[in-house]
Chains A and B, each alone.
Chain A
Amino acid sequence: MSTGVIGFRRPRLDRLKAGATGNLARAIGGNRKALVGLIVLAIFVLLALFPGVLAHDNPNAEIYKRSAGPSAAHLFGTTSYGQDIFSQWVFGTRESLVIAVVAGGLATVLSVIIGVSAAYRGGFADGVLSLFTDVFLVIPAFPLVVIIAAYSKNGGNTILIAVLVVTGWSYGARQLRSQALSLRSRDFLVAARVRGERTWRIIVFEILPTMTSLIVANFLGAAVYAVLAAAGLQFIGLGNPDSMSWGTMLFWAENNEALQAGSPLWAIAPGIGIALLGGAFSLLNYAFDEIANPALRPVRQARRERG
C-alpha cells in the first residue's frame, strides 16, 4: 500500500465514518420517535422475512367459507373468494416492504448522483441539471405515474418500481444539491482540490460522508413516497393484480365492494399496514430532522436558585 495521499486519507475516513455511525446510533437511541419508528419497522422486516411463523394458511388458497367475519381461525376474516385475510396481510408485508426499500433506495441513489454532481460541477452543467430536476419536481408525479403505468399495462412490479424511481428522485436531488452547495466552499474541500484530488474521489470520500444524515433522511422520505404511490397504483389496478401486496388487497377489496358487503377488514387491514409502514418511515424521518438540526430538539426548563 502506498504511503501517498490514499494512506493519509484512510484514517480520516474511518474516523469520520465511525464517528458518524456512533453518533447516529446514540442519537437514534435517545430519541423516542426514532425508537418507535425503528421498532415498527423491525416488526415488519421480521414479518417479511418469516411470514410463515405467524400466518399458517396459504394466502392464495380459496378454500374457506366466503366473507366470514373475524374469528379464532381467521383473525381478520375471509375474502369473498374464501381466502384468509390475515395470511394475505402477513404475506403481503414482504412485497410492500421490498417495493418501498428498492424504489426508495434507487430513487435516493439517483438523487445523490444528480444533486451532488450538479452542485459540484456548477456553471452550465448545474444549470441544466437543476432545470431538469425542477421540471420533474413540478410535474405532478401521480398523474405521470398513472399514464406510464396505463401504457405499460401488464408490466408487473419491475415497471412499478421503475416508474416510482423516475418520479421520486427529484425532491431529494434538490435538497442534496443545496446542501452540497453549502459544503462546496468549505475549507476541507478546497484543501482536497488543492491536493489534486480527482472530482469523483472528492465527492465520494469527502462530501458524501458529511451528508450522511441528509441522505438517510432522503431515503426515508423516498420510501414513504414509494409505499404510498405503489399502494395507490395497485389500488386502481395498475399494478400486478395477481401479486400479493397490500395495495392489491385493497384493489380486490374495492372490486368486491368489501366495505358495503360487510367485510370491511379486507380493506382496512392492508390500509392500516400501509399507514403503519409509511408512518414508521415518517417517524424516523422526523426524528432525523431533529437529530440533524439541534435547534428542533425538545428543550428543558429549569428552576432558579434564590439569591
Chain B
Amino acid sequence: MMPDNAVFYHAAYAAALVVYGGYVVSLVVRSRRTRARERRQVQRGLAREINGKL
C-alpha cells in the first residue's frame, strides 16, 4: 500500500516557490533601488551643469 505523505511534497514545493520567488522579488526591488540611484545621479549632474552656467 502506498504511504500517505503528500503533505511533505506539498510543503517542499511551497518552500521552493517561496525561496525562488523571493529571490526574483529581491532582484526586482534591488533593480528599482538602483534605478532610483541612477536618476538621482543624473539630477545631480544636471544641477552641477546649471550651477556651472550660472
Say whether A and B bind each other: no
